[in-house]
RNA sequence: GGAGAGAUGGCUGAGUGGCUGAAAGCGAUCGCCUGCUAAGCGAUUGUACGCCUUAAAAGGUGUACCGGGGGUUCGAAUCCCCCUCUCUCCGCCA
């Protein structure tokens, strides 16, 4: 959520930024609601002030055994009027709030203008595409042939976009989770947390999933709880409604969680394989920082995610999402795209974002300056470190052998009982 | 699921209708004192929103906030209703 004062004073700038994002927001409605609100506020506060003053007078008179009935009658009318104004104020503020909550973040100045993912500039690349002396197979073939991925059984147990992992496949998934958690906790200084996988409406609103993207979420029937689409939600909300000490910043968390997404609107996209599932595993990194350090922290966060692919020796590139591809809450996002030979394409495997104070404002996460005790909003950041299922895809596709077996990357072998290859 | 107790500022903890944004203590900050530390003394010590002033920082002023929402009243931390959460006991359960 944007600062209402900033919005008020920079309405044309915001209008331009919204156009660059290709979103349609009624900012004229904002202006009229906002000034309407202030008009009502001034009137009602003046009346309240009078009521407070006169009520005190009434108390005095009663104490002195004087007659106060005239004042009481007058204040009774004032109170009625206050009640009316309160009601219209409440309505105006509700409308204003509803509007503000669906306005996306403003892109950082280093984000280039662009309409679609094709316009995302490539920032850097690492490693090389592997050479194959045979036609590389997509992971779903390799996975089914090795009997480690069972799409049919997943569909039977639940439905489309659910997969049963078996034997070495299940073990590889678990190895990846542990490998990533160990890397980020031992070498990158993150604190591991294990969170609830269902959250309430306030948490979903805090990080920006609600109110605008309700259809992307799974909701528990009969309760106001939602399945998390990413650990970003519970982890960022750890400090909702809190004031942190500046000395405690930056604060790094890493969490494993399953993620649940309805994938509404992706019908027909990535229907085969593990790329797009209703349930997948992810290791997520979250940072809380001061405003002046957040962009430096974004670079470090992205490098932390990259380190995973480096250790697994998988070729990837980094793109800087353009204005048209940027997520709702984000001011700047780097996507890590891993090379997937079976797809003959780069596929997103991590997304690292700086939300600046957008989420902090929604979730009311602040910190106190050590220097002068002033309270400010923190900046929040997060990035996948990495999406586990897609990393498994990358391994199956990059490490596949002509005979259909798959080599286990060396870094993972300690987590795989020393096994160096998956064969039938 | 049943019965009970509770939720007040950074913390502990008073406060059962009026000058209480909130006693007292602790903590913190600043000053005095001091060879240093401790002790002592004094002062300061919430957040949000609006308006005025200002280049700004700051300041002034008003309003709101004692778990959340509603009600009673001229006036609510205080009385009433609903909800949430925490704790204790019983039942059930991994």
Cβ A55 to strand B below 7 Å: yes
Which residue has the closest alpha carbon to B63 C1'? Answer: A45
Give the nucleotide nearest to A63 (CA→C1').
Answer: B18
In order along its 424 residues, chain A shows pLDDT tens digits of 999 999 999 999 999 999 999 999 999 999 999 999 999 999 999 999 999 999 999 988 888 888 888 999 999 999 999 999 999 999 999 999 999 999 999 999 999 999 999 999 999 999 999 999 999 999 999 999 999 999 999 999 999 999 999 999 999 999 999 999 999 999 999 999 999 999 999 999 999 999 999 999 999 887 888 999 999 999 999 988 888 888 888 999 999 999 999 998 888 889 899 999 999 999 999 999 999 999 999 999 999 999 999 999 999 999 999 999 999 999 999 999 999 999 999 999 999 999 999 999 999 998 888 777 788 899 999 999 999 999 999 999 999 999 999 999 999 999 999 999 999 8
Cβ A171 to strand B below 7 Å: no
pLDDT per residue as tens digits for the range A347-378: 999 999 999 999 999 999 988 887 777 888 99
Alpha carbons A331 and A404: distance in angstroms, whole number: 43
Instruction: Report chain A's terminal Cα–Cα distance, integer Å.
Output: 52
Residue A348 near residue A327, CB atoms below 8 Å: no
Residue A211 near residue A101, CB atoms below 8 Å: yes
Question: Which residues 6+ apart lie within 8 Å of A146 measured at CB?
Answer: A168, A169, A404, A405, A406, A422, A423, A424
Strand partners, A351: A335
CATH architecture of A117-422: 2-Layer Sandwich (3.30)
Give the nucleotide nearest to A373 (CA→C1').
Answer: B29
Alpha carbons A289 and A359: distance in angstroms, whole number: 12
Alpha carbons A273 and A143: distance in angstroms, whole number: 9
Spans of all domains in chain A: 4-100, 117-422
Question: Which residues 6+ apart lie within 8 Å of A184 measured at CB?
Answer: A190, A192, A254, A283, A285, A304, A385
- What pLDDT was estimated at residue A77? 92
What is the dotted CATH code of the domain comprising A4-100? 1.10.287.40
pLDDT per residue as tens digits for the range A44-60: 999 999 999 999 999 88
Give, in Å, how far the C1' of B23 lies from the CA of A279.
56
**At residue A105, what are phi and psi to the nearest 5 degrees?**
-70, 160
Cβ A42 to strand B below 7 Å: yes
Q: What is the dihedral of CA A131, A135, A138, A139, to 10 degrees?
A: -60
Q: Which helix (H) or strand (E) holds A177?
A: helix A168-186
Mean of pLDDT over chain A: 94
- Nucleic acid strand B: bases within 7 A of protein CB: 10, 18-19, 46-51, 58, 62-64, 70, 73-75
Name the 3-class secondary structure at A373.
coil
Q: What angle do CA A265, A269, A274 make, to 5 degrees?
A: 115
- What pLDDT was estimated at residue A394? 98
Q: Tokens for A294, please give them.
A: 């957040």
Cβ A200 to strand B below 7 Å: no
Instruction: Count CB neighbours of A284 within 10 A.
Output: 29
pLDDT per residue as tens digits for the range A219-270: 988 788 899 999 999 999 998 888 888 888 899 999 999 999 999 888 888 9
- What pLDDT was estimated at residue A267? 83
Give, in Å, how far the C1' of B10 lies from the CA of A372.
16
Alpha carbons A367 and A121: distance in angstroms, whole number: 34
């Amino acid at each position: 959520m944007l600062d209402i004062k900033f919005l008020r004073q920079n309405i044309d700038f915001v209008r331009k930024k919204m156009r660059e994002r290709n979103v349609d927001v009624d900012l004229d409605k904002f202006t009229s609601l906002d000034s309407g609100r202030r008009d009502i506020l001034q009137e009602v506060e003046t009346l309240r002030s009078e009521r407070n003053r006169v009520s005190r007078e009434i108390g005095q008179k009663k104490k002195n055994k004087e007659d106060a009935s005239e004042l009481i009658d007058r204040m009774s009318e004032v109170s009625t009027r206050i009640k009316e104004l309160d009601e219209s104020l409440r309505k105006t503020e509700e409308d204003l709030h509803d509007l503000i909550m669906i306005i996306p973040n403003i892109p950082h100045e280093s984000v280039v203008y662009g309409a679609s993912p094709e316009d995302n500039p490539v920032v850097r690349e690492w490693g090389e595409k592997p050479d194959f002396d045979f036609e590389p197979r997509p992971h779903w073939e390799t996975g089914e042939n090795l009997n480690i991925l069972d799409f049919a059984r997943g569909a039977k147990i639940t439905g489309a976009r659910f997969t049963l992992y078996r034997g070495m496949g299940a073990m590889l998934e678990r190895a990846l989770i542990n490998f990533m958690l160990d890397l980020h906790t031992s070498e990158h200084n993150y604190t591991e947390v294990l969170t609830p996988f269902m959250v309430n409406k306030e948490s979903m609103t805090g990080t920006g999933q609600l109110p605008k993207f309700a259809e992307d979420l799974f909701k528990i029937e009969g309760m106001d709880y939602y399945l998390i689409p990413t650990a970003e939600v519970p982890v960022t909300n750890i400090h909702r409604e809190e004031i942190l000490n500046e000395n405690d910043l930056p604060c790094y968390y890493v969490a494993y969680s399953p993620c649940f997404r309805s994938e509404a609107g992706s019908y027909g996209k990535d229907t085969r394989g593990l790329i797009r599932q209703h349930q997948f595993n992810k290791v997520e990194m979250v940072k809380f920082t001061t405003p002046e350090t957040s962009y430096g922290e974004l670079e470090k966060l992205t490098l932390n995610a990259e380190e995973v692919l480096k250790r697994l020796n998988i070729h990837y590139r980094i793109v800087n999402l353009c204005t048209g591809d940027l997520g709702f809450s984000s001011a700047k996002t780097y996507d890590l795209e891993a090379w997937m030979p079976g797809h003959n394409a780069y596929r997103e495997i991590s997304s690292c974002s700086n939300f600046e104070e957008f989420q902090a404002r929604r979730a009311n996460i602040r910190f106190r300056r050590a220097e002068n005790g002033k309270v400010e909003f923190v900046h929040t950041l997060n990035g996948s470190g990495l999406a586990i299922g897609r990393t498994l895809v990358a391994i199956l596709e990059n490490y596949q052998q002509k005979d259909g077996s798959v080599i286990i990357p060396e870094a993972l072998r300690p987590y795989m009982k020393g096994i160096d290859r998956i064969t039938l």
